[in-house]
Structure 1
Amino acid sequence: MEITGLTKRYAKGQDRYAVRDLSFRVEQGQVLGLLGPNGAGKTTTLRMLMGLISPDAGEIRVFGHVVRPGAPVLSRVGAFVEGAGFLPHLSGRANLELYWQATGRPAEDAHLAEALEIAGLGDALERAVRTYSQGMRQRLAIAQAMLGLPDLLILDEPTNGLDPPQIREMRDVMIRYAAGGRTVIVSSHLLAEVEQSCTHLVVMDRGRLVQAGPVAEITGGGDTLLVTPAGGPVGATTLEKIAALEGVGSVAAADEGILVRLDGVTPAELIAELVRLEVPVAAVGPHRRLEDAFLTLIGGAA
């Protein structure tokens, strides 16, 4: 899948963009995490990718074909975005069967048994959906997205309503799904889960691309350092002075100290500048947690 120059503007306001000049590529077999704070444009991007809304500019190509509403290539895409609608008086199994019948594709192509195994609902499959908990509805919706074993699977906040064991199970499902040669795009606020389940990341903020690449590169590429001040936290004024240094990309306060993203300055040069600013430094080293790398990429905004 390749996104090029994707732009979507809000209906009101000429300078308000949901997505602006967004470009990135996803390869077969990857589990891509789409990250960003609220309002970053993640769901708008996913809705354009699914052909639900049209971009104002740019294009999306999936398996070489341009995505637009009703495009035939969308039959190779499964998606769970902003919840799924079910008929509450019917059982979970009946809902999945009706959904697949509506696609007009042969019943044997649904791979219903595999989807039901993923859902893990047990006897609840035969109960009316109105009796389901939020977590059970979530698992049924994800099973619905996997019907037909699509080549590209899009999941928007798939772990909402799931308990920790179910979240771990969902992580394993995504990894296994992509290992079969398919591609998964997942949007989530659970950064620790993203770090464990995704191979690649796209970080967005205010509709624009901030960074894209392998998880290991973003979390441990050596451009994010943890500065541990001696004598406790430093004040906002000191943080501003560090952020203003030439070659520093961004600065964010963390529980353990100060996260500094390097953008041209070397670690040795940064230490020298900290000494010049009279910042009492106890230690400086690489920091590899996705949560902290994410905070530095978006400038500490939540």
Structure 2
Amino acid sequence: MDTLLAVRARGITKCFGDVVALDGIDLDVARGQVHGLVGPNGAGKTTLLGLLLGLAVADGGRLEVLGTPVERALSVPDGVAGFVDAPGLYPSLTARQNLAALAALRGLDTGTAGIDDVLGEVGLTDVADDKARGFSLGMRQRLGLAAALLTRPRLLVLDEPSNGLDPAGKRHVHGVLARLAADGTAVVLSSHRMDDLEALCSEVTIVATGRVVFSGPLGKLAAENRELDYRLRTSDPVTARRVAGDTAGIRIVDDSGPRQDADVLVVRGKVAALDELVADVVRADVAVRELAPVVSPLEAAFLALTERQEAGR
């Protein structure tokens, strides 16, 4: 048993009738790590999150959470918190009353100060005495996060926590999760937002058709041998196009049609060739104003891996 792991899963299977939701899942999540869980709809993400929260039990394999084997439903150890799909709230109660009710149900001795602390952490102090029924989706997500924080979790499991958040709210939640990880809490985060995962996660697991198709550091997905499309914005697009056409390993993507950004060129190549292109453009006395992937490395890898898995079913 690895005491540095918050989650250790080996060969996890779960079926619902004839439907195989999880098919031999392996997963390691280290303490103090934000670990992303990615996959298309129906891939098995929600089922896996439910197992981590103790809402169900696996049909086969071995699951350890915070060093404790999980062998039946509702048997996860203390220190696990989070939500799947959406947080459950009492709409007729205020934010503060919702948290007080949860604390009472869990036997938590938090007091008013503890409740106010977590409301402040998620940025809901100003609406603490407003009823939850009037909350936006983003506010409900933040209240669900506050409910999870009440327990001071060592493993936090979150399903689409950025749903409905405006940019300020998203930044606030990102800050909370980063601080939790820095303090040693393991966070398992499922999201369709690739920008969230790239901003927060050190490692990701990609699931398709109930199987793991990739698990490891984000940097491994953006390996330098992978060709990606990049937007190249320069001060002289005509010269940049000529240079790109002469640079080994670079292809100009045919993006014919009306374009608002006439100074942008879309090129395809590996990282080493892109580095050479930038150097060549600068040597041609052209300023490089932007070089950015059209699709993020995580999203490109996600699409390639999941499409390959679907095709091989």
Q: Which TM-score applies when normalising by structure 2?
A: 0.73
Equivalent position SS for 2:73: coil
Cα distance in 2 between the residues matched to 1:53 and 1:231: 48
CA distance in structure 2 between the partners assigned to 1:212 and 1:49 by the alignment? 17
Looking at structure 1, the residues matched to 226 and 87 of structure 2 have their Cα atoms a distance apart, in angstroms, of 39
Q: Which AA in structure 1 matches 2:303?
A: L
Q: Does residue 1:216 correspond to 2:238, yes or no?
A: no
Choose from 4, 7, 20 the match for 2:13.
7
Asked if residue 81 in structure 1 is aligned to residue 84 in structure 2, the reply is yes
Is there any run of 5+ residues in structure 1 with no aligned partner, and where? 234-254, 261-266, 268-284
The aligned runs of 1:1-302 (5 Å cut-off) are 1-11=7-17, 13=18, 16-67=19-70, 68-71=72-75, 73=77, 75-107=78-110, 111-219=114-222, 221-226=223-228, 229-230=251-252, 232=254, 289-299=297-307
Cα deviation, residue 257, structure 1: 6.7
**CA-CA distance at 1:25 after TM superposition:** 0.7
Matched-pair contact (CA < 8 Å) for 1:109–1:148: no
Separation of aligned partners in 2, 1:292 and 1:256: 16
- 1:226-279 Cα shifts (integer Å, max 9, x gaps): 37644627xxxxxxxxxxxxxxxxxxxxx957799xxxxxx9xxxxxxxxxxxx
> C-alpha distance in 1, partners of 2:76/2:54?
11
Find the residue that maps to 1:144 and give its secondary structure. Answer: helix
Is residue 78–residue 147 contact of structure 1 (8 Å, CA) maintained in 2?
Answer: no
The 1:7/1:127 distance shift into structure 2, 3 A limit, reads same
Report the Cα offset of residue 118 of structure 1. 2.0
**The residue matched to 1:9 in structure 2 has which SS?**
strand
* Distance of 2:57 and 2:32 partners within structure 1: 26
Q: Tell me: CA distance 1:195–1:72, structure 2 relative to 1, closer, same or farther (3 Å).
A: closer
The list of structure 1 runs, each at least 4 consecutive aligned residues, that deviate by more than 6 angstroms after superposition, is: 257-260
CA distance in structure 2 between the partners assigned to 1:97 and 1:108 by the alignment:
8
User: Which letter does structure 2 place at the counterpart of 1:2?
Assistant: R
Residue 295 of structure 1 deviates from its aligned partner by: 1.6
**Residue by residue, what CA displacement relative to the aligned partner does 1:57-97 show, whole Å, maximum 9, x if unpaired?**
11210122112323251x21011211122222211101101
Alignment partners' CA distance in 2, 1:186 and 1:256: 32
CA distance in 1, matches of 2:228, 2:162: 30
Report the AA paired with residue 127 of structure 1: D
- Checking the alignment, whether the CA contact within 8 Å between 2:114 and 2:150 is kept in structure 1 is yes
Instruction: Note closer, same or farther for the CA distance 1:106–1:17 as it changes in structure 2 (3 Å cut).
Output: same
Distance 1:291 1:72 in 2: 32
Give the distance between the partners of 1:76 and 1:93, measured in 2 at CA. 22
Cα distance in structure 1, aligned partners of 2:84 and 2:113: 20
State the distance in 1 between where 2:59 and 2:266 align: 43
Which secondary structure does the structure 2 equivalent of 1:51 belong to?
Answer: coil
- The one-letter code matched in structure 1 to 2:64 is R
Unaligned residue ranges in structure 2 (runs of 5+): 1-6, 230-249, 256-264, 274-292
Q: TM-score, normalised by structure 1?
A: 0.76
Q: Which amino acid in the other structure matches residue 7 of structure 1?
A: T
Superposition RMSD in Å: 2.7
Query: Using the alignment, how far apart are the partners of 1:153 and 1:231 within structure 2?
Result: 42
Q: Percent identity?
A: 36
